[in-house]
Amino acid sequence: MTTTSQKEVTANAQRIVISVTERGTTETIVQIGVASTTAAYGVLIPTPTEPVLDATPVSEGSLEALDSATRPSIVTEDDTLYEDTGCGCAFGAGGDDDSGEPPGAGKGGNGVSASEPTNIGPVSAVTLTATDATALSAWLDENGFNIPDDRQALLDDYIGAGRYFIAVKRNDTAAAGGPSSIGIHYTLEGDHRLLSLAFARLGAAPTVAFTLFLFAPELALPSPPFQALTLNDLDAALLHENRYGDAVQKAVKAHGSKAFVLEWGPRQGSAQYALSPTVIDASASLVRMSTVLAADDLTEDATFFTPGTEPIEHTRTIHVRSGVALPASMGVIGFVALAWGLRRRGRP
């Protein structure tokens, strides 16, 4: 007898919201983990123009609700249930200053300009711009951001007129004894559908994962050289083994490590998502997409301006025979044909 089970899955990635609004702004939310007060901690986020920081943190619960509402589902036609193991993600630059003091405004000498600190829940953040990599490195070092020598060249690609960084450190309100997670919300003027993947190498773990929630007036997909994959591009055997994150990484690797798997979209209306309507236009279309990469494959930033078409499937059905997952290309007809062939070969 064939049974059917359904399981929502996720790559356990860092969550990023990019919302292009009719007001001519890009509202961005970056989820960060906040280490315990006894640990060294710092995050550095590059932006293509001057950001305006929101002093109100976005709760982890709001981001989790958005994630839960849009997770893809794996439907298995067999008697096996699935549990997702996922994969982890690291982001940002780790500082070696555990004093808990906010990043310093205006410090670092000529070539660096920094704002006054903004407290955002358990962290403090400043916006800074620089015209010289040496001066920026000095500012970062003075403020407790430890940039490895072999990563210094990364800064050069993100320095220039009109380009900024958000420097984040823990503050005195961080909960002692354990980590927490919040979303940092900032506003950029203009349309900036950009993920600075190459910069993420600055503090990347061996494997990194990102889940992007892209809200835009029209359906938008990754732009070349990045490709848009579907759930049907994922390895059925890995999905059957409860390894969704590994399946995403394998599919992305097979496409030159420049791809995102489309997982959801589009549904319009901000009311159904647990985020403020000031962040998401009511008429915006959502595309959820994920990627999993080795740190060494973080070589190019990704943009998202390619027009898309509906539908974007968020359910994948796996057909299992004798405990073995069949490839997506076989489908139901292939499954029936295989079963028939096995029966014929089994006759005396």
**pLDDT band, very low/low/confident/very high, at 339 (cuts 50, 70, 90):** very low
Q: Is the per-residue pLDDT at 348 higher than 60?
A: no
The whole-number pLDDT of residue 335 equals 38
Number of domains in the chain: 1
Instruction: Determine the average pLDDT of the residues in 89-96.
Output: 35
Bridge partners (DSSP) of residue 123 are 120, 170
Asked whether 194 and 303 are in contact (CB, 8 A), the reply is yes
The whole-number pLDDT of residue 241 equals 86
Length of the chain, in residues:
348
Q: Is the per-residue pLDDT at 213 higher than 90?
A: yes
The whole-number pLDDT of residue 12 equals 57
Greater confidence, 300 or 342?
300
pLDDT digits (tens, 9 = 90+) for 141-187: 888 888 878 778 888 889 988 999 999 998 877 666 655 789 999 99
Q: Is the per-residue pLDDT at 1 higher than 50?
A: no
The whole-number pLDDT of residue 231 equals 95
Question: What distance separates the 2 farthest-apart alpha carbons in the chain?
Answer: 87
Lowest-confidence region among 78-92, 182-196, 323-337? 78-92
Q: Is the per-residue pLDDT at 311 higher than 60?
A: yes
What residues contact 247, with CB distance under 8 A and at least 6 apart? Answer: 234, 235, 238, 239
Q: Is the per-residue pLDDT at 284 higher than 70?
A: yes
pLDDT digits (tens, 9 = 90+) for 121-130: 989 999 999 9
pLDDT digits (tens, 9 = 90+) for 192-205: 999 999 998 887 88
Instruction: Determine the average pLDDT of the residues in 260-281.
Output: 80
Q: What is the 3-state secondary structure (H, E, C) of the chain?
A: CCCEEEEECCCCCEEEEEEECCCCEEEEEEEEEECCCCCCCCEEEEECCCCEECCCCEEHHHHHHHHHHHCCEEEEECCCCCCCCCCCCCCCCCECCCCCCCCCCCCCCCCEEECCCEEECCEEEEEEEECCHHHHHHHHHHCCECCCHHHHHHHHCCCCCCCEEEEEEECCCCCCCCCEEEEEEEEEECCCCEECCHHHHHHCCCEEEEEEEEEECCCEECCCCCEEECHHHCCHHHHHCCCHHHHHHHHHHCCCCCEEEEEECCCCCHHHCCCCCCCCCCCCEEEEEEEEEEHHHCCCCEECCEECCCCCCCEEEEEEECCEECCCCCHHHHHHHHHHHHHHHCCC
Q: Is the per-residue pLDDT at 11 higher than 90?
A: no
Q: Is the per-residue pLDDT at 250 higher than 60?
A: yes
Greater confidence, 195 or 137?
195
The whole-number pLDDT of residue 195 equals 96
The whole-number pLDDT of residue 101 equals 64
Domain coverage including residue 250: 4-345
Most confident range, picked from 5-14, 79-88, 331-340: 5-14
The whole-number pLDDT of residue 132 equals 87
For residue 192, which amino acid is it?
H
Q: Is the per-residue pLDDT at 49 higher than 90?
A: yes
Residue 294: name the closest of 226, 205, 232, 214 by CA: 205
Q: Is the per-residue pLDDT at 233 higher than 90?
A: yes
Residue 70: name the closest of 213, 184, 195, 182 by CA: 213
**pLDDT band, very low/low/confident/very high, at 326 (cuts 50, 70, 90):** low
Q: Are strands 14-20 and 207-216 parallel, antiparallel or unpaired?
A: parallel
**pLDDT band, very low/low/confident/very high, at 16 (cuts 50, 70, 90):** very high
Residues of the chain with pLDDT > 90: what percent?
47
Q: What integer best gives the mean pLDDT of the chain?
A: 80
Asked whether 179 and 60 are in contact (CB, 8 A), the reply is no
**pLDDT band, very low/low/confident/very high, at 282 (cuts 50, 70, 90):** confident
Q: How far is CA 108 from the centre of its chain?
A: 31
pTM exceeding the 0.85 threshold for the entire prediction: no
**pLDDT band, very low/low/confident/very high, at 41 (cuts 50, 70, 90):** confident
The whole-number pLDDT of residue 76 equals 78
